[in-house]
Structure 1
Amino acid sequence: MTNKYSAAALVLFGALAASTAQGQDAGRIQTKVMGDDNQPVLVQFNAAGKAAYRASEAQTVLREQLALTADDQFLPARIETDQIGFTHQKFSQFYKGVKVEHADYTVHAKGGAIESISGDFEKISGLNTTPSLNAAAALTRALDYVGASRYMWQDPAEEASLKQQENNPNATYRPAGELVIVRSNATGQPVLAWKFNVYAKQPVSRAYIYVDARSGQVVFHDAIIKHAAATGSFATRYSGTQSSATDYTGTTYRLRELTRGLGIETYNCRKGNSYTNAVDFTDADNSWTEYNNTNMDNAALDAHWGAQGTYDYFKNVMGRNSYDNAGAKIKSYVHFDDTPGDGVGYENAYWNGSVMTYGDGASRFRPLTSLDVCAHEIGHAICERTANLAYQNESGAMNEGFSDIWGAAVEYYKAPGKQTWLIGEDIDKVRPSLRSMSNPNAESQPDTYRGTYWKATTTSPSSSNDYGGVHTNSGVLNYWFYVLSVGATGTNDIGNAFSVTGIGIAKAARIAYRAESVYLSANSTYADGRTYTIQAATDLYGSGSAEVTSVTNAWHAVGVGAAASGGGTTTVTYCASKGTTVTYEWIDYVALGTLARTSGADAGYYNGTALSAPSIGAGTSQTISFSAGFSGTAYTEYWKVYIDYNKDGDFIDAGELVVSGSSSSSGTLSATFTVPTTARSGNTRMRLVMSDNSGTTSCNSYSYGETEDYTVNITGGAALTGLAPSLTGGSSTSIGNEIAKQLEVYPNPASSVVSLVLPGNAEATSVVVTDLRGVRVADARYHDGKVDISRLAKGMYTIAVSDGQKVFHQRFVKE
């Protein structure tokens, strides 16, 4: 079939070259898993690699495997030894001497040899590390962003209490700025920023606020307070009569004990919001039966018993000594009310970075001290001291999901008669539970990645959008854990049939804990969760074990990755990818070897896998051609071409993204790539994705554009035996991208007026300006291609402009 476009059509792109092992290094590596940024998230060494790298050479292996420059440093943070003989040495990344937030790498060793390395490495180049904004000015910006009426350091009593608590006369809640590098939510790029720990007293909140040290904009927000919600005889509110440790002062018994770590203590905030003014709960005879009163004081018994039970679970089952693994004191504050005197109880519970806090509830909840809620909140403390999953988008959803896992696991351990798979069933007045792990949909949560009830992630996470759906999208991890524990069969929201053999809650929890405490890092995604839980199961139960198979199949059940079958090979079931609108653009031509197909719009997805497969030889150079069809304006489109070289049912391995680039041309575009010599022989899948969103990946439901799948036949490659091999070799030629046609907003920054230019100089049919909270701004006036912003306060805004077909978004700064 001839090409319907002119020979003068533009050639574009190139692909993301695979970061693969070469030469001597290739002989040391067993597996290398690449992240979305094309940096290694996991490198496993074979026998040759283990012999080459001793445990004492941790920094050497990081420098070699991550290709560090003179500007990059990894400094030791901590080292731990686990129950199966591994040592895990964690390193923090620095660039030109400045700490890189959320960038940590861990070296895993056993028997004196390095087994693997894992983590998140930020590849940074040319970043200016000299701030133009000082810490004091940046703090002002941070406080403007938080907007509290009162902060903890403004309360002399709280300041005095902190000094006493830390035995440090200089201790203060007032934030001291730390200069760091952090990836901006707005741009996705690393920026120099001031980091502040801001603790607000009214309304209550605590978070790390990151302020760009050059522009003064808040670029990242990481919540610290995560909302959910002698032996005494305790008549608890939710768990019947229980025995619990207390202490005796000589005249009275208190809810304190010193046998677990540095102690567990529970206090009465007396319906106030001051920790300083909190007092002990006391009892004369250590038979705490009279606490079932109108004040609901028996809720304190649940909090005290729940904290002890959570400590016991992690100590006895996981070998962890309190949330910090160093015996930290667990302090709980009951009857907390953020607005004392308003007659409405506080409908929440949280970990504030140092203590547990529980409200009495109101219209929705009873006092929030049930066993699973206690374990959930202490679980946040454990996460902070291990993976430290950033509280937004997918990492934040996993942060919430792990806390629910610990809520279920501790409840099963201490009170197996309760409803293990419901979270908050004891405290919820309105619904059967706050969340259901066995049926997330029942409480409007997704049980499938990007499936029903999935909340869109965001570049502007805030409390108004639940930081990118952290309390909703946690349903995916919850259901993964449930399916892994008890087993299940069915078909998920993206059409994947699954069958999982349950391994029991005890084994599932060990795997989850190892992934969280050993492998996951701050910016981990659900794809990373799959990688690291499989690795954790391999560590605990062996490669190719039934447990590894079940972990893999459980992820397939929730829409993350392929299913596993016997012997570690994979059932090739691919994730869904589809454009929801093809009114304005679609894929209309694809050619590779003997494949050449011209088409119109195919409803967002075309399955061409039954067409005759072109042959592509391992080690050979190949050229693929393709083009976009447009109904009118030629918009900028982002193209990605994937080939599943190792036939494991996904496109996430090194080198499997073979083309990546953008163009606004309707002509035929071409790109060249080299097939890896280690690609598996036989038929496999090639996927083309064309989207107007640069962030679209191989597994997405996206707005505008189309996905097409084809079969290609790899010849002269590796045999289809054993585990999927790591890919070595393979490349693509970078040819360069066209200048994208998109909404232009200039000048930017601006003080009074910005001008707008749409693709093709189209007329704007609507213009909307919103602030960082997503609230529409009324004081911005549009007329004749210009927006009057003179009445706006200084700061960053988003402008949405429609040409009558599509809506374009850009950010601008009002000076």
Structure 2
Amino acid sequence: MRKQYSAVAIAMLSTLAATTAQAQDAARIQTKVLGNDNQPVLVQFNAEGKMAYRGVDAGQVLRQQLALTTADQMVQRTVETDQLGFTHQKFAQYYQGIRVEHADYTVHAKSGVIESISGDFEKVSGLSTTPALNESAALSRALAHVGARQYMWQTNEANAAEFAPQGELVIVRDLRQNAETGPLVLAWKFNVYAAQPISRALIYVDARTGQVVLQDNIIKHAAATGTFATAYSGTRTINDGTTTGGYFLREGTTRGLGIETYNCRKGNSYTSATDFIDADNNWTSAEYNNANFDNVAGDAHVGAQATYDYWKNVHGRNSYDNAGAKIKSYVHFDDVPGGTGYENAYWDGVRMTYGDGASRFRPLTALDVCGHEIGHAVCEKTANLTYANESGAMNEGLSDIWGASIEAYAVSNLGFTSGGVKAKSTWLIGEEIDKQQAALRSMSDPKSLGQPAYYKGQYWAPLSSAPSDANDQGGVHTNSGVLNHWYYILAVGKSGTNEGGNTYSVTGVGIDAAAKITFRMESVYMTASSNYAQARTYAIQAATDLYGAGSAQVIAVTNAWYAVGVGASYTGGGTTPPPTSTTYCTIKGSSQSYEWIDLVQLGSINRTSGKDAGYYNGTALSTSVAAGSSQTVYFSAGFTSTAYTEYWKVYIDYNRNGVFTDAGELVVSGSSASAGTLSATFTVPSTARSGSTVMRVLMSDNSATSSCGTFSYGEAEDYTLNITGGAALTGPTTLAGDATPLGNEAASTLQVYPNPATDALHLVLPGNAEATSVVLSDVRGARVNGATLRNGTLDISGLAKGMYTLSVSDGQKVFHQRFVKE
């Protein structure tokens, strides 16, 4: 007989189901960071076991975590896989089918499992999507706001087809009322390109009132080989092409779709620009160092080539859009044809444009200026930071960072020299073109050139509720000094007392690591509306992705932000760095799906815990141990279900030299399959140096795991010991209780061969175990069918070419491995 339920009972069951689902969702969350609007900017998930979200669940995860309504839509824009193996699905927010400007969210997954989501979500409610103002009337308001004498589409017919503005209805924040949190309005969006005076910007016109609520500047501010005697970088080898009469500055497809440089002949028409042509491909100083500064064409050309090479070789990026986009440069530009010199350089969304300068600047084709401007193109294709207030300041700061990094790269790796009137200096921006002072900006000492080195400190320009050219769009060229100085401190290191009265000490990580962290912050995590506080969160996450939690790089990133007044100093989640200047090698377990350290106790150190993502920096927790004393350390493993044999090692750096490999420093070594509390006793040697040192506790499913590096299953934890005295040295001890001796080492990872493979892939599991199930997924994490397993061999003949991830189970653990199908 079918059971009958009352309406009340059904409601109770529904409530119970909803509550259970909410509890499960909450259990999945490891960390959640909220923005000023109380919406999440970063959510990290437990990426292991049955609670993990799969990559194919991206839409469901966004709907749950952002509490989307039926009026909200998240539309996937791109899917990218980075060099760390992360897949990033980027979504654009829409409300009732209308784009919400600057609101984007990204789902970050690895091996088919969602690890985090990040971005900016705007909570829209009750907003009418019917405009009171039509497109034509709104365009008139936009043009009146710009107030140019001539627009690009008015110069000739070809430009009319390319540049005539087309209106789009969007939802955007009206920043006039509040520089950071103005109300959301329905607006017409136009891309307006002015020819006299030069400007290009996205103009947003309120579709109800006709008022301009935001201006987002696009122009951010005002297969042959030859040699070129450039103005700023000496004689350089160039790649160019052949044409009638000799050679011209058009490289073919050696670098993406090409690098091309043109001559505007002191005019403002791109369609009328001509080629520079040299008869013998030896562009000498005698020919080009003339009254017209024609030698700067070589600077623009080699600058674009060096910039392409930097992004390709350092960041694995194919041109500014990562799709090989052609880089076009136009020199001898003047906004007034035949004028007295244009004092600017800019990226307009399509091309580079350089003026010849006048009273303030020399021709603006110096290498760091080129790298800076193309850096705006990179930002446009990644974070697309809105060019106003804090997001605009970071847009400018990132371009300075890339200008400095590209200059340093070209000098160190491409042999660039200083050929102009000033020497190249990594941490000065525009030093070679500035006639009136040392440079435009200083990253090492921003205040020396009128920029802030501290968030909202001296020289900080107030944010504006009406960003405009008159207030530098809310101080974008001034407040960028904070990001510039953070990058300098991160790369080089610095100690001192900041304007907040706080002392700091940062050990630099080098410009290469600093650049990788910064670009991951920009390209993976930042969104159009990111502010300084969010940049800190994202930079720390980027460093964690690249170098591991608690790494020297994470510590440096955090403390560099602290130095410039953004956020607290490094604590490691309640901890501080070791109370010693010694830097230790990093260590981390890759998976805690089945086992982790859940107890470490020695003296006053007594910590119970769950999973710590493979490593826990507990050096803020300390205990004193007298030299010569006998000490007992207690520890235990947590297991998801089955208790596996785990190999335990405890190291103490007795001589405080930064390594754990000296004789007698492995004080515990043994194995156990127990979930109970284990213990081991050791004696502190008489030769131990007095003072603070580090004790490292390691638990791994592989006996060969050492004191440094990344291993498969398990965790490691660091603590501080304060040592004094003298006693006899003793060697490693075995575990007490139910500990067992070390066994024979066995492989602990899935092995596949051949790799790449064409038809068949052979699988070898740890201990030659039998595979009970196989799951195949593509780079997006989506499950793929079409492969069959028989007797340890996977038939992949029916798969399309590409990269795949295998998840193979032996009935208990799941092992992952990648392979390529050819």
Is the 8 Å Cα contact of residues 304 and 370 (structure 2) preserved in structure 1?
yes
1:334-373 to 2 correspondences below 5 Å:
334-342=331-339, 344-373=340-369
Structural mapping, 1:245-324, within 5 Å: 245-249=239-243, 251-258=245-252, 259-289=254-284, 290-324=287-321
Query: Are residues 1:210 and 2:204 paired?
Result: yes
> Per chain length, whose mean CA-contact separation is higher, i.e. which structure has more relative contact order (CA < 8 Å, sep 6+)?
1
Structure 2 SS opposite 1:498: strand
- Say which SS state the counterpart of residue 30 (structure 1) adopts: strand
1:537-556 equivalences under 5 Å are 537-556=543-562
Letter in 1 for 2:333: F
What's the counterpart of residue 106 of structure 2? 106
Q: 2:327 matched to which residue of 1?
A: 330
What's the counterpart of residue 167 of structure 2?
177
Partner of 1:96: 96
Number of aligned pairs?
Answer: 544
Aligned equivalent of 2:233, options 235, 239, 251:
239
Whether the 8 Å CA contact 1:133–1:214 is kept in 2: the answer is yes
Written as runs of structure 1 = structure 2, the 5 A alignment for 1:667-706 is: none
Superposed displacement of residue 323, structure 1: 0.8
For residues 521-561 of structure 1, what are the alpha-carbon distances to aligned partners after superposition, in whole Å with 9 as ceiling and x for unaligned? 00100001100010000000011111000000000000000
Letter in 1 for 2:320: Y
Instruction: Work out whether residues 71 and 95 of structure 1, in 8 Å CA contact, stay in contact via their aligned partners in 2.
Output: yes
1:401 aligns with 2:408: no
| Aligned AA (1:271) | K
The one-letter code matched in structure 1 to 2:380 is: E
**Does the 8 Å CA contact 1:27/1:48 hold for their aligned counterparts?**
no
CA distance in 2: counterparts of 1:231 and 1:299, whole angstroms: 18
Q: Distance in 2 between matches of 1:567 and 1:415?
A: 40
Q: Say whether the 8 Å CA contact 1:231–1:245 is kept in structure 2.
A: yes
Q: Which amino acid aligns with 1:315?
A: K
Check conservation: 2:427, 2:443, Cα contact below 8 A: yes
How far apart are the structure 2 equivalents of 1:54 and 1:181? 31
Letter in structure 1 aligned against 2:491? S
- Structure 1: 4+ residue segments shifted above 6 A: none
Please give the secondary structure, in 2, of the residue aligned with 1:172: helix
Match of 2:814 in 1: none
Distance 1:722 1:35, change over 3 A: farther
Q: Do the aligned partners of 1:153 and 1:172 also contact (CA within 8 Å) in 2? A: yes
Q: Among residues 355, 376, 397, which one is paired with 1:380 in the alignment?
A: 376
* In the alignment, structure 1 residue 221 sits paired with structure 2 residue 215: yes
Q: 1:52 deviation in Å?
A: 3.1
Answer yes or no: is 1:536 the counterpart of 2:542: yes
Structure 2 counterpart SS, 1:27 = helix
Q: Verify the 8 A CA contact 1:394 1:457 in the aligned structure 2.
A: yes
Maintained 8 Å contact 1:437/1:482: yes
Give unpaired runs (5+ residues) of structure 1. 1-20, 161-170, 572-720, 724-815
Q: How does 1:143-222 map to 2 (within 5 A)?
A: 143-159=143-159, 171-187=161-177, 188-222=182-216
State the distance in 1 between where 2:396 and 2:349 align: 15
Residues 544, 568 of structure 1: 8 Å contact kept? no
Output the amino acid matched with 2:390. Answer: E
Q: 1:157 and 1:300, CA in 2 relative to 1: closer, same or farther beyond 3 A?
A: farther
Deviation of the 1:234 alpha carbon: 1.1
Distance 2:47 2:76 in 1: 26
- 1:622 aligns to what? none
For residues 287 and 526 of structure 1, what CA distance do their matches in structure 2 show? Answer: 48
Give 1:48 deviation, angstroms. Answer: 4.8
Determine the C-alpha separation between the residues in 1 that align with 2:384 and 2:365: 24
Distance in structure 2 (CA, Å) of the matches to 1:157 and 1:336? 20
Cross-structure match for 1:30: 30
Paired amino acid for 1:189? P
Letter in 2 for 1:287: N
Aligned counterpart, 1:496: 502
Secondary structure of 2:213's counterpart equals: strand
Task: Say whether the 8 Å CA contact 1:456–1:469 is kept in structure 2.
Answer: yes
Once the two structures are superposed, residues 652-696 of structure 1 have per-residue CA deviations (whole angstroms, 9 ceiling, x without a partner) of xxxxxxxxxxxxxxxxxxxxxxxxxxxxxxxxxxxxxxxxxxxxx
1:526 corresponds, among 529, 532, 549, to: 532
1:643-658 aligned at under 5 Å gives the runs none
Structure having the higher Rg: 2
- Give the drift of 1:569: 2.4
Partner of 1:460: 466
Aligned to 1:636: none
Q: Distance in 1 between matches of 2:192 and 2:574?
A: 48
Question: Which structure 2 residues correspond to residues 465-484 of structure 1 after superposition, within 5 A?
Answer: 465-484=471-490
CA distance in 2, matches of 1:32, 1:421: 36
Flag structure 2 segments of 5+ consecutive residues without an equivalent: 1-20, 418-423, 578-716, 720-822
Which runs of structure 2 are paired with 1:750-765 in the superposition (5 Å)?
none
Q: Structure 1 residues 391 and 566 mapped into 2: Cα distance closer, same or farther (>3 Å)?
A: closer
Secondary structure of the corresponding residue to residue 537 of structure 1: helix
CA drift at 1:415: 1.5
Stretch of structure 1 that moved more, 51-60 or 40-49: 40-49
The CA distance in 2 between the partners of 1:50 and 1:115, in whole Å, is 14
Any conservation in 2 of the 1:299–1:367 contact (CA below 8 Å)?
yes
Whether the 8 Å contact between 2:45 and 2:52 is mirrored in structure 1 is no
Could you tell me which residue of structure 2 aligns to residue 87 of structure 1? 87
Q: Does the CA contact (< 8 Å) of 1:27 and 1:49 recur in 2?
A: no
**Residues 614-633 of structure 1: pairs in structure 2 closer than 5 A:** none
What's the TM-score, normalizing by structure 2? 0.65
Question: Does the CA-based 8 Å contact 1:198-1:206 persist in structure 2?
Answer: yes
Deviation sequence 1:174-195 (CA, Å, 0-9, x none): 1110000001112301100000
1:442 aligns with 2:448: yes
SS in 1 for 2:392: helix
Q: Does the CA-based 8 Å contact 2:360-2:435 persist in structure 1?
A: yes
Secondary structure of 2:141's counterpart equals: helix
Q: Is the 8 A contact 1:549 1:568 kept in 2?
A: no
| 1:51 shift after superposition | 4.4
How far did residue 567 of structure 1 move? 7.6
Structure 2 equivalent of residue 414 of structure 1: 410
How far did residue 209 of structure 1 move? Answer: 0.3
1:781 equivalent in structure 2: none
Q: TM-score, normalised by structure 1?
A: 0.65
Paired residue secondary structure (1:56)? helix
The residue number in structure 2 matching 1:644 is none
Q: How far is 1:241 from its partner?
A: 1.1
> 1:281 and 1:221 mapped to 2: Cα distance?
36
1:406 and 1:568, CA in 2 relative to 1: closer, same or farther beyond 3 A? Answer: farther
- Taking the aligned partners of 1:374 and 1:459, their CA distance within structure 2 comes to 31
CA distance in 2, matches of 1:530, 1:252: 52
* Cα separation, partners in 2 of 1:568 and 1:387, compared to 1, 3 Å: farther
The answer to whether the 8 Å contact 1:449/1:559 transfers is yes
Counterpart secondary structure, 1:197: strand
